[in-house]
Amino acid sequence: MLEQKRILDGSCVAQEIKNELSERVNLLLAKGVIPCLATILVGDDPASATYVRMKGNACNRLGIESRRISLDKDTTTEQLIHVIQQLNEDSGVHGILLQHPVPTQIDERAAFESISIDKDVDGVTTMGFAQNAFGLAAYPSCTPAAIIAILDYYQIPIEGKHAIVVGRSPILGKPVSLMLLNRNATVTICHSKTNNLDKIVGLGDIVVAAVGKPRFIQGDWIKEGAIVLDAGYNAGNMGDVYYEACLEKASAITPVPAGVGPVTIAMLLKHTVDSAERSHSFSHSVNLNEFNK
């Protein structure tokens, strides 16, 4: 199958997930339950506003309620936490997403930690991170979950492979490393300050680029036949991988856009629906384990 799937099209993966979610949302609606994702945007950053709007549109297309909370750029940490606590107590809200980044006067970590673990559908709390480390997270961070979903959709083996993760953020590089490790990959975590990074990347059967630098991973770093997953998105529709050069060496690669991004949003929707089902003690008959092993 892999030979016909050199370009790992995330749009196909996302659509598969959303098709299954549509059935589950309809079942919830028939029982009087409207899945709801609350998104909090602090300030007026245009890129953040665009991301929130995209997530809202994706919710609406599936019949998920998108509740948008916009706060002034001068909002304090205490004010933001108060809003989050109100959403925690609202039984009609099943998922809470605080759009990153927040203005500098806000203690972002404190705000993330105030999100109830039952509504942490974006996997940003330290408790969620710890559960993910043990393979127990109901809602792992969405981009790492998307990367695993892509590998599973295209039937790319993980067990026994050497995975190189370039990036160490708490909601991307670190959790995806743990998820790969829990799937029996041997994992090396690198970052922009790693010595001899090119040589280390060249050892990878699977390379995850999550460093936040445009075209950072070069084609001559990649070993022949490697699987390359680009989790970056930078200005000009550029990922963290020098796509054209890496395409020559990789046996499979995600493009930017239409790679990891659409699946990340699909996983956010999935986690919201999961939360709605859990909060009302519903279960679904369709097995989605292949998207979240």
How far, in Å, CA of 148 to CA of 261, rounded? Answer: 13
Q: Where are the beta strands (DSSP E) in the chain?
A: 36-42, 65-71, 95-98, 162-166, 186-190, 206-209, 227-230, 252-253
Catalytic residues: 55, 99, 122
CA nearest to 143, candidates 52, 229, 42, 45 = 229
Max intra-chain CA distance, the chain: 57
The one-letter amino acid at 42: V
Terminal CA-to-CA distance of the chain, rounded, Å?
Answer: 20
110-136 as b/e: b if 16+ CB within 10 A: ebbbbbbeebbbbbbbeebbebbbeee
Given a contact cutoff of 8 angstroms between Cβ atoms, the answer to whether 2 and 156 are in contact is yes
Structural Rg of the chain based on CA atoms: 19
Amino acid identity at 10: G
Evaluate whether 141 touches 175 at the Cβ level (below 8 Å). yes
